[in-house]
Amino acid sequence: MARVKDINPFLVNSYISKEYFCNREDELNVLLRNVRGNVNTTLISPRRLGKTGLILRFFEMLGEMGDYGTVYVDIYSSRNLSDFIKLLTTAIINKFPERTPVGKRFLKLLKGLRPVFSFDAITGAPQVQFNYQSESDKEYTLQQLLAFINEQPHPVVVAIDEFQQIAHYPEKNVEAILRTYIQQFNRLCFIFSGSRRHTLMDIFANANRPFYSSTRFINLDAIERVTYRNFIREKFEQGGRAIDDESIDYVLEWTKGYTFYTQSLCNRLYSLRKINLDAVKAECLALLRENEPIYLQFRNLITSKQWEFLLALAKEESVSQIYSKEFLVKHQLGTPSSIHRMLDALLEKEMILESVSSTGSSYSVYDVFLMRWMQRTY
């Protein structure tokens, strides 16, 4: 294993420890306050803004305190309640390995639920599948899993990432089932996180849905620029690299300060010993050239009209008056009704990002690197 000082501090695909995590103190404090008050949280954030890293940093903080247990499960790949149960079971197994006393008790519980065990062919990680005779078997299995977590010595915080997936399950009663079980177990506190704002708001803010008014909301925004600038400078200096403020400001502007894109560019720059503005621009260009085949493929996945609409947003960077005559005429986009249809389609494909504030909604290309490529190419 690499020594800590040998690790590139600008992580892209994983979370290691707080030393490589930038700020989010306000959000961490809100999460802690909610957990201590036994209040569930809905965490909403666009993809690649760092919500998973925030959850894992929060779990690390809870571990340091020693007062809470934690379970993290990502249900993005789930298609139904069976998948949900399978992923939750795997998360518990990974949290409480077989050799531990808690793990042994969990395996004893599982045997009573008639599972089929297997192992991932690549990672070797344990996997489990249940054979259900009826829908009530699924509900019973889910209840037993949550009951087991609830019985741990310390209260447990359960984070369910990409929670909006449950809205697409073929079973129509999953929300009601989960809400019922959550109310039964008072030693469990939940963080429901996801990237599809409209879906999550419908789940948690619609008076006709089971989860209505059952959580407090955290809306994740980009990290404050001054804080991020200081973090970047510190990490380069600690690694014996020199970078000037002009270069850091360019990085943050070019990536819009979005965590994944900023980390990705800084990760590349970290391979250099001395970084100036010319070096930053060269890495930006190299990054776009590497990803160009992907962006060209995007163009083939949508209609030509949708591509022209996306290109207009890229050129403007952000548009609030999406149906205005000025915007439509300037980019020759057609009628407001056609824009409405294209907007819905591209929001669903997560190619357009809708940002909501007190002044209304604004729209931009979801992938910042794609936006920069379109600005440069067309």
Q: How far is CA 374 from the centre of its chain?
A: 25
Check residue 2 and give its pLDDT.
Answer: 45
Which backbone phi and psi does 217 adopt, to 5 degrees? -100, 140
Check residue 13 and give its pLDDT.
Answer: 86
What's the token pair of residue 204? 């948690």
Print burial letters for 205-227: b (CB count within 10 Å at least 16), e (below 16): eeeebbbeebbbebebebbeeee
CB 87 within 8 A of CB 77: yes
Residue 303, Cβ density class (10 Å: 0-12 exposed, 13-18 middle, ≥19 buried): exposed
Residue 19 half-sphere exposure toward CB, CA atoms < 13 A: 8
Check residue 6 and give its pLDDT.
Answer: 73
Q: How far is CA 355 from the centre of its chain?
A: 16
Query: pLDDT tens digits for the chain (378 residues)?
Result: 444 557 899 999 889 999 999 999 999 999 999 999 999 999 999 999 999 999 999 999 999 999 999 999 999 999 999 999 999 999 998 898 878 888 889 888 887 787 776 777 676 766 777 888 788 999 999 999 999 999 999 999 999 999 999 999 999 899 999 999 999 999 999 999 999 999 999 999 999 999 999 999 999 999 999 999 999 999 999 999 999 999 999 999 999 999 999 999 999 999 998 899 999 999 999 999 999 999 999 999 999 999 999 999 999 999 999 999 999 999 999 999 999 999 999 999 999 999 988 888 999 999 999 999 999 999
CB 92 within 8 A of CB 125: no
Task: Give the C-alpha separation, 263 to 50, whole Å.
Answer: 10
Q: Which residues pair with 193 in a beta bridge?
A: 43
Q: Please count the residues of the chain.
A: 378
Whose CA is closest to 130, among 102, 109, 147?
Answer: 109
Check residue 113 and give its pLDDT.
Answer: 80
Task: Give the C-alpha separation, 33 to 365, whole Å.
Answer: 34
Whose CA is closest to 82, among 105, 104, 115?
Answer: 115
The residue type at 150: N
Which backbone phi and psi does 333 adopt, to 5 degrees? -100, -10
SS (H, E, C) the chain: CCCHHHCCCCCCCCCCCHHHCCCCHHHHHHHHHHHHCCCCEEEECCCCCCHHHHHHHHHHHHHHHCCCEEEEEECCCCCCHHHHHHHHHHHHHHHCCCCCHHHHHHHHHHHCCCEEEEECCCCCCEEEEECCCCHHHHHHHHHHHHHHHHCCCCCEEEEEECHHHHHHCCCCCHHHHHHHHHHHCCCEEEEEEECCHHHHHHHHHCCCCCCCCCCEEEECCCCCHHHHHHHHHHHHHHCCCEECHHHHHHHHHHCCCCHHHHHHHHHHHCCCCEECHHHHHHHHHHHHHHHHHHHHHHHHHCCHHHHHHHHHHHHHCCECCCCCHHHHHHCCCCCHHHHHHHHHHHHHCCCEEEEEECCEEEEEECCHHHHHHHHHHC
pTM here? Answer: 0.92
Domains plus CATH for the chain? 24-219 (3.40.50.300), 302-378 (1.10.10.10)
As a whole number of Å, the CA-based R_g of the chain is 23
CB 59 within 8 A of CB 72: yes
Print burial letters for 156-195: b (CB count within 10 Å at least 16), e (below 16): bbbbbbbbbbbbebeeeebbebbeebbeebeebbbbbbbb
